[in-house]
Amino acid sequence: MTVQSLDTIQSYHAHIYFESAEQRDVAAVLREEIAQRFSVLIGSWHEAPIGPHVRPMYQVAFSIVEFPKFVPWLMINRHGLAVLVHPNTGYPRRDHTSNATWLGEKLDIIADPLPEHETEPEAAIVPDTFPVIEP
Footprint of Zn ion (CB under 5 A): 13
Nearer to Zn ion (CB atom), residue 13 or residue 78: 13
- Nearest residue to Zn ion by CB is 13
Burial of 79 per CB tally in 10 Å (0-12, 13-18, 19+): middle
Nearer to Zn ion (CB atom), residue 99 or residue 129: 99
CA-CA distance, 84 to 81, in Å (whole number)? 10
Q: How far is the CB of 42 from Zn ion (least distance, A)?
A: 13
Q: How far is the CB of 22 from Zn ion (least distance, A)?
A: 24
Say if residues 96 and 114 touch (Cβ distance below 8 Å). Answer: yes
CA-CA distance, 34 to 55, in Å (whole number)? 20
Nearer to Zn ion (CB atom), residue 35 or residue 109: 109
